[in-house]
Structure 1
Amino acid sequence: MLHYPAAPSSELDDLGVAASNAADAFLPRYFARIGYDGPVAPTLEVLAALQAAHIAAIPFEAIDALTGAGVDIGADAIDAKLIGQRRGGYCFEQNGLFLRVLQAIEFEAEGLIGRVRWMLPDDAPPSPRTHMVVRVTLDGRPWLADVGFGATVPPAPLAMDSEEPQPTRHETYRIVRHGDIWQVAARIGDDWAMLYRIENKPPPAIDYELGNWYTSAHPDSHFRRQLIAARTTAEARYGLRDNRLTTRLTDGRIDRRYLTADEIERTLAEIFLLPVQRHWRPAIERAATAEIAG
């Protein structure tokens, strides 16, 4: 076994200052990105405000998976894409960023991973572990924070120690625990639709890498075949699936429209706030010709 000499205390102090300076620079950039200028403290009110601001400002999208560009979930790559380039991303990017933000504010927060069950029949075989969420503990109570689940993303923190329905500005949610598995569902109409099953134990980083590889590169991943984007504001949810744009208002009204390629491009820019890039055009044109069932 190799033994390395301990760094002098002055060097450790310098490292601490560097880490502090990095956090000081990171948070203002993130706050500017989501338009947040409220208090900064590890409280439930701040968590809820950050979650709402994040999902309104940073859209869910997986265009890099669709075009074959690949998705890098390293911290520097996520910051460059979601903050610097004002792009969106999917769960590993979105919740990876949100977790680091919360930890920088000194929330007691950790990442969890689970299996997506959205739109699957109850008897469907197990799906891969491809969804990351964040668990935040406040005064001993666990809360689920998720900013990366597309058009049904919870718009507010959800208490993980209660099986009672939890209303939000949009859908009502419910979390039921079965041993070491947390089952998260949303009420859609008169029925409960399961979103995902989350494992109780925080995974090693390699599990996120494997889940990200499957989501971004495996031929069975729907992100490799469909143009998908979503954004949730206080007033509405917007969801784009290939050429179909769905708008769900909080008063219950629903609007669905089918778009041409040019309209998809404008929608990505105007509704999903994305800096549309020229090399996306072939994927956009394919999406414009898609036939969507359901």
Structure 2
Amino acid sequence: MKPSSSADAQQRESVSEAIDLGAYFERIGYHGPWVPSFEVLQALMRRHMASIPFEAVDVMLGEGVDLDPVAVDRKMIHGGRGGYCFEHTSLFRRALQALGFALEPHLARVWIHGGSHAPAATHASLKVEVNGRLWLVDVGFGGFLSSQPLAWRPDQAQHTAFGTFRLVETRDGYMLENRYQEGWWPLYEILDFDWQPIDFEMANHYVATHPRSLFKRELMIARTEDEVRYSLSNNRFTTRFAHGMTQERVLDETALAETLAATFGLPVGDTWQAMIAAIVARGDGGGDG
């Protein structure tokens, strides 16, 4: 985040960006030191992704997504909910900044769904500096990434429990790629630009409200532990074990509601039942999530 031009602006910004670190650490089950070290960054990322699921239920229900920090914290820290990339990035960024980490938020074009034309910039991630080294930190890309920082080292393959990744320089920034069979598959292109808060607001508005937003029609939920990742694509439930096998099953209404609550810790209420019924009735199992 860039410094404000006046003391008053800095004070307003500090208040609006404030986070209750104790409550956040309790939410994710973190009990380690409060210092800006790489070990702390690793631990926080692991605990965050294991405790707060990726989900965009509010978009599917037509309720929108509010990026005001108070709304994000009320929902994700105190409300037992998850969120999607803009919410996760907001929460994790503010926690890291409160600990003294230096970082930059970035927008990215998601290429994972293919297409020949450049997609809109609809994803948010972080570049974090620790002891002079840069890291890609992303806690909000659903079931596609591992729960560990990736070194900001272009062209270097990096092996994780849930895949091999690399950054490749492009005309507009850096493409994050995933090793797939004998080749590399693009995930998203991080745009090298001096992004401002309003840009994230606009991108969030598009993803949360545009009729063609993927989250308007697809239920995508994910939670990643050290040795296992759970994901839902509509009513298809997938369990991926680190470095190993994958299990899948298609859920009926009862099982889908139970999985949302038991596996992902989400507070399934009466307002979700019509959505659950519609997803199961559609019966296509969804795409990857």
Q: CA deviation at 1:119?
A: 2.8
Query: Helix, strand or coil for the counterpart of 2:35?
Result: coil
In 2, the alpha carbon distance for the partners of 1:125 and 1:65 equals 25
2:85 is the alignment partner of 1:115: no
Contact 1:111/1:202 (<8 A) preserved: no
In 1, the alpha carbon distance for the partners of 2:180 and 2:270 equals 37
- Cross-structure match for 2:145: 153
2:72 is the alignment partner of 1:78: yes
In 2, the alpha carbon distance for the partners of 1:106 and 1:75 equals 18
- Cross-structure match for 1:186: 178
- Cross-structure match for 2:240: 248
Contact 2:23/2:77 (<8 A) preserved: yes
Contact 1:34/1:54 (<8 A) preserved: yes
Contact 1:119/1:193 (<8 A) preserved: no
Q: CA deviation at 1:293?
A: 6.5
Query: Helix, strand or coil for the counterpart of 1:197?
Result: strand
TM-score (norm 1): 0.89
- Cross-structure match for 1:126: 118
2:207 is the alignment partner of 1:210: no
Q: CA deviation at 1:189?
A: 3.6
1:179-213 deviations in Å (ceiling 9; x for gaps): 44111011234332211001122411111111111
In 2, the alpha carbon distance for the partners of 1:35 and 1:231 equals 15
Please give the residue correspondences for 1:20-35 in structure 2 after superposition, counting only pairs within 5 Å: 26-35=20-29
Contact 2:107/2:195 (<8 A) preserved: yes
Q: CA deviation at 1:139?
A: 2.6
TM-score (norm 2): 0.90
Larger Cα-atom Rg: 1
In 2, the alpha carbon distance for the partners of 1:127 and 1:97 equals 25
- Cross-structure match for 1:102: 96
For structure 1, the 5+ residue unaligned runs are 1-5
- Cross-structure match for 1:166: 158
- Cross-structure match for 2:4: none
Aligned-residue RMSD, C-alpha: 2.1
Aligned partner of 1:39 among 23, 28, 33: 33
Contact 2:236/2:286 (<8 A) preserved: no
1:75-106 deviations in Å (ceiling 9; x for gaps): 00000000010100000000111000000000
For structure 2, the 5+ residue unaligned runs are 1-6
Q: How many residues align?
A: 278
- Cross-structure match for 2:48: 54
